[in-house]
Amino acid sequence: MKKIKTMQEAYRVFEYLGIKNVTKPWQEAKCTEVWELPFKTYYGSGHSEINRFSVYKSGYVRKMCVAPNGASRSCWQLNKVRQKPEYFKDYKWNEEWTEQTWTGKYRKRMTNERILIDNHRDRIVYLCNYILKNYYNNGKWNLVGEYAIERINKQQAELRNTKNHDLPFFDGDEHDLVAKLQETCQKSSLNTSDVRVLIDGHRYILNKIG
């Protein structure tokens, strides 16, 4: 299956699969989006889990751990990881082991850090591909509900009459969609800092109103 490449493709896939936008007003004001799959994951113990995901202006994409009452209580980071060197001073103890003295050298150790995704469009595309890979295109799980199957079959039937695509890949210009998202974010972020978005190599700034 081909990968999603544009934000509009991702939103179309969310619609076709019944993946709901459950963003609350206070989250939207922070330019956060929350999406929830139309099915739960069930475990052998009988425990079930709501599949809810969030994307943040800070660059993070997360899988939310949802309490039985529907409230998010913690999260898993979904961003890719890279190794980063850290340096710290090397100390030597005296003979009595009562005092440490810096040797003048540094020790090096490698730590992991998450790779942040610096624009909303790429975060949505990343989330969509993650969901497709781990929840809809995974032979270990039978997670696609009847609603999603019906939607997929309908859209695939329409696409076969025009194009030979595995998914409804976008064939137009997504600038209008990005501009609309920017406008919504701007209106709901009156008290936040300016938002910068990079589109096709051009930087756009959402200025704070007021």
Domain shared by 90 and 124, yes or no: no
Burial class (CB in 10 A: 0-12, 13-18, 19+), 201: exposed
Place of tokens 């069930």: 42
- Domain-located, residue 181: no
pLDDT for the residue 184: 64
CB atoms within 10 A of CB 7: 22
Domain shared by 75 and 144, yes or no: yes
Domain, as residue range, for 62: 7-79+116-171
Residue percentage of the chain with pLDDT more than 90: 47
pTM: 0.63
Give the total number of structural domains in the chain: 2
* Span 35-73, pLDDT tens digits: 999 988 877 777 788 899 999 999 999 999 887 777 777
Measured distance CA(92)–CA(38) in Å, rounded: 58
Q: Can you give the three-state secondary structure of the chain, one letter per residue? A: CCCCCCHHHHHHHHHHHCCEECCCHHHHCCCCEEEEEEEEEECCCCCEEEEEEEECCCCCEEEEEECCCCCEEEEEECCCEEEEEEEEEEEEECCCCCCEEEEEEEEEEEEEEECCCCCHHHHHHHHHHHHHHHHHCCCCCCCCCHHHHHHHHHHHHHHHCCCCCCCCCCCCCCHHHHHHHHHHHHHCCCCCCCEEEEECCEEEEECCCC
Orientation angle between helical segments 146-160 and 7-17, nearest 10 degrees: 130
* Span 79-112, pLDDT tens digits: 999 999 999 999 999 988 999 999 999 999 999 9
Domain shared by 15 and 51, yes or no: yes
pLDDT for the residue 142: 46
Q: Cα dist. 98→80, 101, 102, 195, 199 in Å? A: 43, 10, 14, 52, 59
Domain shared by 102 and 32, yes or no: no
Domain shared by 143 and 132, yes or no: yes
